[in-house]
Structure 1
Amino acid sequence: MGFEGDEESAANQVSTKSRFRYNSPLVQITLIGLVCFCCPGMFNALSGMGGGGQVNPTAANNANTALYTTFAIFGVLGGGIYNILGPRLTLAAGCSTYVLYAGSFLYYNHKQHQSFAIVAGAILGIGAGFLWAGEGAIMTSYPPPHRKGTYISLFWSIFNMGGVIGGLIPFILNYNRSEAASVNDGTYIGFMCFMTAGTLLSLAILPPSKVVRDDGTRCTNIKYSKVSTEAVEIGKLFFNWKMLLIAPAAWASNFFYSYQFNNVNGALFNLRTRGLNNVFYWGAQMVGSVGIGYILDFSFQSRRKRGFVGIGIVAALGTAIWAGGLAKQVGYKHNDLPPKLDFKDSGSDFAGPFVLYFSYGLLDAMFQSMVYWVIGALADDSEILSRYVGFYKGVQSAGAAVAWQVDAHKVPLLSQLIVNWSLTTVSYPLLAILVMLAVKDDQKGEEPSINPASMDNNSKPV
């Protein structure tokens, strides 16, 4: 039967006394943060180098296009797959593909053949769909309803510490190679070691039916789903007005990465400085997620009002940061790049572009944490939220696939910036409408739809 008996429920009531127990949301969110620290955190550091650490970004652009194309499909499907397989199998399968991707660039360092990187990117897109759908379901459904912003910021801080450490790896290993064109083998090997550790750590994540909040409630009562149920529910998402309002924010939320990584960090700075910049870019994400998480959880008693304030703050900050980016962008083009800046040798010329890149990282975390908070405010049940997050990641990845090809085709940099700024700006009023219409101040989200199969006594739980 899909629901736990009275004896087990009573036993779990006793186990809720410690916040640091293994089956608590705090510990499980920390664990998923560490998994993402090791896998997508290191991937972000690799991507943030510009061109995957290579002098010519073509291979990385094509690999990322393949990645986000498959990610767009499996991001949408990922929520259903998570509901069927449970977190351990879903996350471990997803994490293993990150190791292959980093290895493909190690191979590229020697052979300069991009085919392996493109295939590895496509496989990683499948795995990333699994990982991020599972991560999103855990991050939005495991916390108590009134502390979702805090737990999202906790996850985002741990996850982005991976980008900080990942930025230090190429910075340290290539410190004495200020004129180098691409990173050394040790950089990719270091990334692969972390990604392997993350794959193993993912096996420690508990399924939602075994996670008990401090008040004794569970993250879901349903222990498993089936393919037909998930196919129907995923199909409904494309006609769900809430998801349609989220879609522009989802499309925008990774669209700017190709511009920021290749055409700001990659275009303006030399190799070792790009590694240093990434330390601060992902460090800024930690600051941004904590700041917006506090506002979304503690600024006002009304949850709806907190949503409006959070969206307003991100909108104002985003406008200022993209305006600063515009001021810098008018000074260079694809075929007219300035001399590469070095953190030691460029003096005051380094400061402005560095602060801009830092600010882009700050905005990214605040924007995505805000969207995750809105999604988390729409429901409390893991089964529903896994599908919502899967839809978000699928649309997000479709946007990213387009963005990497936009850069690969050398679309003017000013045009790229204007599109990025416009996409994020359009998202704010739509998210505000969603908060106004769908977010409740009583902190009760949608009730889970009972899967009839979950009532089958002969069924085997995940």
Structure 2
Amino acid sequence: MSSDNDIATCDPIKASPPSEEVDVSPPKYSWYHGVFFNATVVGISAFAAPGLWNAMNSVGAGGQQTPYLVMAGNAILFAVMTLTCLTGSMMANRFGLRNSLVVGTVGYVIYSAALYTNNRYGTEWFIYLGSAVCGLSAGIFWATEGTIMLSYPEPEKRGRYLAYWLSYRNSGSILGGIINLAFNYRGRTTGKLDWRTYIVFVVLQCLGPISSLLLTPPEKVVRRNGSRVQLSDRISDLEELKALTRVLFRRDFLLIIPYFVYVTWELPYISAYLSLYFSVRSRALASLVSAISQVATTLAFGAFLDWTGVSLNKRARYGYIVMMILIGGCWIWGVIIQNEYTHHKPALDWDDGGFGRGWALYIFWQINFSLTYNFGFWLIGFLAREPKEIVRYMSIARAAESAGQCISSGISSTSSPLISALGVSFALWGIAVIPAYFVVRQVGVIHIGPEKSTPDSHENDKGLERS
């Protein structure tokens, strides 16, 4: 049996070929070492950490009265995350996925505690410190959770498992929405959440590190079909850095970088939008309804991406096209509403006339975010040429997301008109949509995933340039 040190040096990614020394008999399936159990572990960790973090931010600016201080803190958080996400593959290579997942959940608790002290006592310095610590921790978590959810499941079940995992993350927002609404249902005007809300969040987020300890190391995972997660030996940090750089400068990955920058770019803007124009209780209701909507649409989208009745290439292209048309339509809707709100500066409660148009738009924005998030992970699973590249792709993609959200949070931390922030988000969607499609249309043709690839198949990469 491997020691803990041996486990820490394993990475979820390249199978050793059978030899006389290797037992090639079919491994015995155990629920504790199965994909579903480990997806549940990652899901609970995601529920407790980023899920509840999203719940606090889905009420607008962490539940504070104005968005500016929290957005400044979030800009620091995502600036730090940009760096720590890039080191995600090196962390997993050196310390293993389980240890990385545990460390990755700790910073979220400190961030929530900072929001509590600011809400109740007006403490500002802790917001900046808590944001920085959360950035250090969350960058590792972001890269690790995605790597596990792309490496552990069978390729043909990846879409459903991604949706299952993201449902836990969104369930954090559902519970958070219930908590927000329970403590703040009397808040008919704009303002900040009840301070008791944050105590519940801090306690629940302590589940993250505990849950993460239950993760099965990749070399012990056995899928229902008897196959194992592919592994590879640990390499030096310098070699890992060189491999990371090679992935970064591949043409197909450069084409989808704008997509990953866009994925989280809109979140600071829509958070500021909700906090400035809607009452406390309508914001709490929005956090609950948006989370439920995200769970339903993500599960449906994941089922479509795994639907074998349609070819893989068509699923990729059709799913991407419909998703991007929906997003573009919502941005046009947003221009109309935001222009109106910029001039009239409403403070809308749920029984006010005209409340539904702007409030429903926020729900659709959150659904759009969830769909792009899910599709981006699914796409990465097919771009990787070998299993070990999954964590590298994930690290760079999450760094791009963090960089985008850092800049967007910085913009939203100022008092500049929100119509400007909307315009930048809309423009970035326009920049991202075409280049990413050049890669999406090759899914199932050139990009077939590491578990189906052969060394010769990568000679076909030149076909992307000819097509």
- Tell me the TM-score normalised to structure 2 length: 0.88
Output one character per residue of 1:130-184: Cα deviation in whole Å (capped at 9) or x when no partner. Answer: 1010111011121111121111111111210101111111211122343473222
AA aligned opposite 1:35: S
Pick closer, same or farther for the CA change 1:248–1:300 going to 2, 3 Å: farther
AA aligned opposite 1:297: D
- Confirm or deny that 1:24 pairs with 2:34: yes
- Confirm or deny that 1:111 pairs with 2:121: yes
Output one character per residue of 1:305-341: Cα deviation in whole Å (capped at 9) or x when no partner. Answer: 21111111101111222222122111022x7511x22
* Equivalent residue in structure 2 for 1:436, among 432, 441, 444: 441
AA aligned opposite 1:341: L
Q: Which residue of 2 aligns with 1:306?
A: 315
TM-aligned CA deviation for residue 420 of structure 1: 1.1
Output one character per residue of 1:261-312: Cα deviation in whole Å (capped at 9) or x when no partner. Answer: 111x112211121111011112221122112212211164421221111111
Q: Which residue of 1 aligns with 2:141?
A: 131
Alignment of 1:372-387 (within 5 A): 372-379=377-384, 382-387=387-392
Pick closer, same or farther for the CA change 1:331–1:299 going to 2, 3 Å: farther
Name the CA distance, whole Å, in 2 between partners of 1:58 and 1:406: 10
AA aligned opposite 1:328: I
Alignment of 1:288-299 (within 5 A): 288-298=297-307
AA aligned opposite 1:363: N
AA aligned opposite 1:302: S
Q: Which residue of 1 aligns with 2:465?
A: none
Partner SS for 1:204: coil
Q: Which residue of 1 aligns with 2:218?
A: 208
TM-aligned CA deviation for residue 362 of structure 1: 1.3
AA aligned opposite 1:436: R
* Equivalent residue in structure 2 for 1:267, among 269, 273, 276: 276
- Confirm or deny that 1:329 pairs with 2:351: no
Partner SS for 2:340: coil
- Confirm or deny that 1:342 pairs with 2:356: no
Name the CA distance, whole Å, in 1 between partners of 2:43 and 2:286: 22
AA aligned opposite 1:13: P
Name the CA distance, whole Å, in 2 between partners of 1:157 and 1:8: 38
Pick closer, same or farther for the CA change 1:30–1:425 going to 2, 3 Å: farther
TM-aligned CA deviation for residue 365 of structure 1: 1.1
Name the CA distance, whole Å, in 1 between partners of 2:20 and 2:292: 46
Amino-acid identity (%): 26
Pick closer, same or farther for the CA change 1:93–1:29 going to 2, 3 Å: same
Output one character per residue of 1:326-379: Cα deviation in whole Å (capped at 9) or x when no partner. Answer: 22111022x7511x2222x32x52222222111111111111111111101123
- Confirm or deny that 1:144 pairs with 2:132: no
Name the CA distance, whole Å, in 2 between partners of 1:419 and 1:181: 27
Q: Which residue of 1 aligns with 2:192?
A: 182
Name the CA distance, whole Å, in 2 between partners of 1:229 and 1:396: 25
Q: Which residue of 1 aligns with 2:464?
A: none
TM-aligned CA deviation for residue 215 of structure 1: 2.6
Name the CA distance, whole Å, in 1 between partners of 2:307 and 2:271: 33
Q: Which residue of 2 aligns with 1:454?
A: none
77-86 or 209-218: bigger deviation? 209-218
AA aligned opposite 1:87: L
Name the CA distance, whole Å, in 1 between partners of 2:255 and 2:410: 25
Name the CA distance, whole Å, in 2 between partners of 1:106 and 1:190: 10
Name the CA distance, whole Å, in 2 between partners of 1:102 and 1:148: 32
Q: Which residue of 2 aligns with 1:420?
A: 425
Output one character per residue of 1:198-235: Cα deviation in whole Å (capped at 9) or x when no partner. Answer: 12101111222222222322222225443222222222
Unpaired segments ≥5 residues, structure 2: 1-5, 11-15, 456-467
Q: Contact (CA 8 Å) 2:190, 2:276: kept in 1 or not?
A: no
Name the CA distance, whole Å, in 2 between partners of 1:164 and 1:55: 22
Aligned residues: 440
Q: Which residue of 2 aligns with 1:14?
A: 28
TM-aligned CA deviation for residue 13 of structure 1: 2.3
Q: Which residue of 2 aligns with 1:452?
A: none
TM-aligned CA deviation for residue 439 of structure 1: 4.2
Name the CA distance, whole Å, in 2 between partners of 1:225 and 1:70: 25
AA aligned opposite 2:278: F
Alignment of 1:251-266 (within 5 A): 251-263=261-273, 265-266=274-275
- Confirm or deny that 1:363 pairs with 2:368: yes
AA aligned opposite 2:419: L
251-260 or 27-36: bigger deviation? 27-36
TM-aligned CA deviation for residue 12 of structure 1: 5.7
Q: Which residue of 1 aligns with 2:293?
A: 284
52-61 or 230-239: bigger deviation? 230-239
AA aligned opposite 1:47: N
* Equivalent residue in structure 1 for 2:51, among 33, 41, 61: 41
TM-aligned CA deviation for residue 35 of structure 1: 0.8
Partner SS for 1:260: helix
Name the CA distance, whole Å, in 2 between partners of 1:396 and 1:240: 18
Partner SS for 1:229: helix
TM-aligned CA deviation for residue 444 of structure 1: 4.4
AA aligned opposite 1:242: D
Name the CA distance, whole Å, in 2 between partners of 1:297 and 1:402: 34
Q: Contact (CA 8 Å) 1:380, 1:444: kept in 2 or not?
A: yes
Pick closer, same or farther for the CA change 1:60–1:436 going to 2, 3 Å: same
Q: Which residue of 2 aligns with 1:457?
A: none
Q: Which residue of 2 aligns with 1:98?
A: 108
Name the CA distance, whole Å, in 2 between partners of 1:5 and 1:107: 59
Pick closer, same or farther for the CA change 1:382–1:305 going to 2, 3 Å: same
TM-aligned CA deviation for residue 10 of structure 1: 5.4
Q: Contact (CA 8 Å) 1:219, 1:382: kept in 2 or not?
A: no
Aligned-residue Cα RMSD (Å) equals: 2.4
Q: Contact (CA 8 Å) 1:183, 1:271: kept in 2 or not?
A: yes
Pick closer, same or farther for the CA change 1:8–1:276 going to 2, 3 Å: farther
